Amino acid sequence: MCGIVAAVSYRNVVPTLLEGLRRLEYRGYDSCGVATVADGKLQRARSVARVHELAEQCEEDGVAGQTGIAHTRWATHGAPEVCNAHPLVSRDHVALVHNGIIENHEEIRRQLQDKGYVFTSQTDTEVIAHLVNDCYEDDLLKAVMKAVGFLKGSYAIAVIASDEPHRVIAARQGSPMVLGIGEGENLVASDAMAIGGVTDQIVYLSEGDVVDLKPDAWTVYAREGEDGAFMPVEREIRVVHAYAGAVELGPYRHFMQKEIFEQPRAVSDTLEGVAAISPTLFGGNAEDIFKQTKRLLFLACGTSYYAALTAKYWIEELAGIPCDVEIASEYRYRVSVPDPDTLVVTISQSGETADTLAALRHARDALGMQKTLTICNVATSAMVHESLLSYITRAGVEIGVASTKAFTTQLTALYLLALTLAKLNGRLNAAKEEEELKRLRHLPVAMSAVLALEPQVMAWAERFAVKQDALFLGRGVHYPIALEGALKLKEISYIHAEAYPAGELKHGPLALVDNTMPVVTVAPNDSLLEKLKSNMQEVRARGGELYVCADGDSVIDTVDGMHVIRLPENYGRLSPILHCVALQLLAYHTSVSKGTDVDKPRNLAKSVTVE
């Protein structure tokens, strides 16, 4: 959610910090700030505006220095006000930025207040700043190591002190952080993309790591031995390319539009190297694990949850294996029945989604379900690291908060999982396998044909932009796609939208239908089409206005009160991937017509790394 950039160098680091924040803007934020050490004093600038306005403030106030920390904040504890913006400062000595949530902040706050510390914010982060200052004797590294021992919760922090002008100390627990190694400078950030313009030499810090950065040296420490003392450890240096093109719009108006149109390429990349359906696609020991699997449990949040719901239909039909799908944020807070023969599948774009990561750990550690698989877009993420098996989608960096290409690449990976399980269960012969592979390889072409319908969708969007509410309907495997379509519309256009299985329409939602209510219907030409047509007639009889995404061979005509867009192909079981592209375009162009901030919708963040 929040973004961190910190640097120590032989040059002024403020331009580097501001550029890093700009690269992290896609994650969503409502305040930002910078702090530096210069001439033995802390300098700070904070804003509840955008990063470019923070840059202007830094220039006006003369904020500069060779050591600094910077942050974009998405409000959790405390409103989005300047007093709560990071960096937080303790007694003009310690400045700190923080991602995560400190669960015992109230207890520590009371202890520090008893010692005379005055709090000027409502944040849990200020507790850490004062705690580090209270632990400080003559060494910032020792102070941070001591302070983190008192913290419960998740954190990624970067800390500077006024009397140590060429040093940054950083630490992480439950929230991601990377170290960037430069020439005459070193950096830490919450995302490698933030420092990609400076260096491609990246170290992914492990849970519990503390790192000491100086301009020409860095050391990582981890707790070792029975006494849990911090000791120097080795961490692998990786070459990570900067994703330079990912932050450039090119010919598109918004990143969301760009990412919608990148989907054929993203799906093609995700399928690269898939010459046959094989368990080895998911890991070297996948075949043994899959053969022992009697049930699947999917854990995910938001859009990834809808991908899991779609996969349930595919896997149960193709492989004949029962599936459960749980919202990750709810799963670990209820009593459930563990099963050691269950494959626990987590789905996450970032692989750092706090709720999903916690659910994975609960299933594995508390319930003893050791068979784990992660579908993820980031190979170096915590979720991938903590799972026995993985499939890495290749969506590339997704800047827009509303997920598009991450979703369709997740669906692609999940369809491969369904085919793999079907093959192992003797339900996919060689001829059928070749047919399925051919359809998968053609999928990017079919998606491009849907994208060509953009002008027709734009006409729909102009009508939607004046609406207050919308209803989405789908049946069978297309019901999760209706859910995803409603989510996209509400996320970026702020139009209230809900989705229902079309058969449930008469059990309540039909009461909402009148001539002001647009009803979007996902209508592929499948075995449920005739049932769906009956549901559509129920809408028309109440004066509702239908917007139908149909296949080219569906016998559904445009008439008064019913608008039809025909997708070029009937794509069978893979049809959900095509229909969701049309709904993405509808949400995007409705938002554009309304003039909302498409890429940074209010109150939302890209990477949800707090619970």
Residues with a catalytic annotation lie at 2, 606
In 5-117, which residue ranges form alpha helices assigned H by DSSP? 14-24, 51-61, 105-114
For residue 541, what is the enclosing H or E element? helix 529-541
| Rg over CA atoms, the chain | 26
The candidate with the shortest Cα–Cα distance to 360, out of 392, 382, 380, is 382
Q: Hey, what are 600's tokens?
A: 């940074």
Per residue, what are the HEC states of 131-172?
A: HHHHHCCCCHHHHHHHHHCCCCECEEEEEEECCEEEEEEEEE
Per DSSP, 102 falls in state B
- For residues 67 and 65, give the distance between their C-alpha atoms in angstroms, rounded to a whole number: 5
- For residues 488 and 586, give the distance between their C-alpha atoms in angstroms, rounded to a whole number: 9
Query: How crowded is the C-beta side of 397, counted as CA atoms within 13 Å?
Result: 22
> Helices 405-424 and 263-270: crossing angle, nearest 10°?
30
SS3 of residue 449 by DSSP: helix
Q: Which residue in this structure is represented by tokens 């049309």?
A: 582
SS3 of residue 2 by DSSP: coil
Query: Are the C-beta atoms of residues 208 and 223 closer than 8 Å to each other?
Result: yes
CA 257, 261, 265, 271 dihedral sign is positive
Cross-strand pairs, 232: 221
Q: Hey, what are 313's tokens?
A: 């239909």
Per DSSP, 199 falls in state -
Beta strands per DSSP E along 196-267: 201-204, 210-214, 217-224, 229-233, 238-239
Q: Which residues contact 550 (CB under 8 A, 6 or more apart)?
A: 523, 524, 525, 556, 564, 565, 566, 567
Residue 161 — φ and ψ, nearest 5°?
-135, 145
Q: Which residue in this structure is represented by tokens 């995404």?
A: 549
